[in-house]
Amino acid sequence: MDMTSRTMLLGSIMVEDIANPRPEDVDLQFMAYRLGTIVRFSGHPAALTVEEHQRLCRHLAKRLCYSEAVIEWAGLHDAHEYATGDLATPLQRGIDAKSLHSVQRAWDAAICGAMGIAFPTPATRIEVGVIDRLALVLEWQWALGRDPQELGVTGSLLTASQARDLFDGGVPAARRDELRHGRILLGG
Q: Which helix H or strand E contains 14, and what residues bound it?
A: strand 13-15
Each residue's pLDDT tens digit, 22-72: 999 999 999 999 999 999 999 999 999 999 999 999 999 999 999 999 999
Which alpha helices (H) appear in 36-186, and where do they start and end?
A: 40-43, 50-63, 68-74, 81-84, 89-94, 98-115, 122-138, 160-170, 173-185
Each residue's pLDDT tens digit, 4-25: 578 999 999 999 999 999 999 9
What residues form DSSP beta bridges with 66?
A: none
Task: Name the average pLDDT for the chain.
Answer: 91
The structure's pTM equals 0.91
Q: How far apart are CA 45 and CA 132, in angstroms?
A: 20
In three-state secondary structure terms, 49 is: strand
The one-letter code for the residue type at 60 is: L
pLDDT given at position 90: 81
Q: How far apart are CA 61 and CA 135, in angstroms?
A: 10
Q: How far apart are CA 57 and CA 87, in angstroms?
A: 18
Domains observed in the chain: 8-185 (1.10.3210.10)
- DSSP class of 46: T
